[in-house]
Amino acid sequence: MTNVAPPGWPDGVPPPDAPDFVDRAVLWLFDNAPPEFRSHAVFRRHPEALVFAVGHYTDGALAASREAYASTRRQLSGSLDPTAVGEVLGALEFEGVRLVRLQREVALVAEAFAGRRWSQRL
């Protein structure tokens, strides 16, 4: 069976065998990349390069988010009250969860660009 997306597939991106998969996946990738990525024509011509770059960007953002979370109390307790420090931790935790989900979605799209297809499980 074709046109099957695996668990964790990004919302708004059709399954890999759908006629508009590549175009919609590229738009989704640009939406999840730094805005400057749109100015590079190579990423429009080569979706595999775009997903590669977005994957690395996402990995870096997740690592930075984790580092910020780990150092928040030490770095900010002298300048922010405990309530604000807790809010910062909450925001960073939320972003960490979002970035882990995005990391998985980007990896799945990369697999689809590489030719992987999934089948319906019963």
Structural domain includes residue 4:
no
| Domain of 80, in residue numbers | 21-113
Q: Is residue 92 part of a domain?
A: yes
Count CB neighbours of 50 within 10 A.
23
Q: Is residue 45 part of a domain?
A: yes
In a domain, 5, yes or no: no
15: in domain: no
User: Are 68 and 77 within 8 A, CB to CB?
Assistant: no
Per-residue pLDDT of the chain (122 residues; tens, 9 = 90+): 468 999 999 999 999 999 999 999 999 999 999 999 999 999 999 999 999 999 999 999 999 999 999 999 999 999 999 999 999 999 999 999 999 999 999 999 999 999 999 988 76
pTM for the full model? 0.91
Cα gap 87→83, rounded to integer Å: 6
Say how many domains are in the chain: 1
Task: Establish if 101 belongs to a structural domain.
Answer: yes
Domain-embedded: residue 36: yes
Task: Kindly state the tokens that stand for 33.
Answer: 């990349």
Domain annotation covers residue 119: no
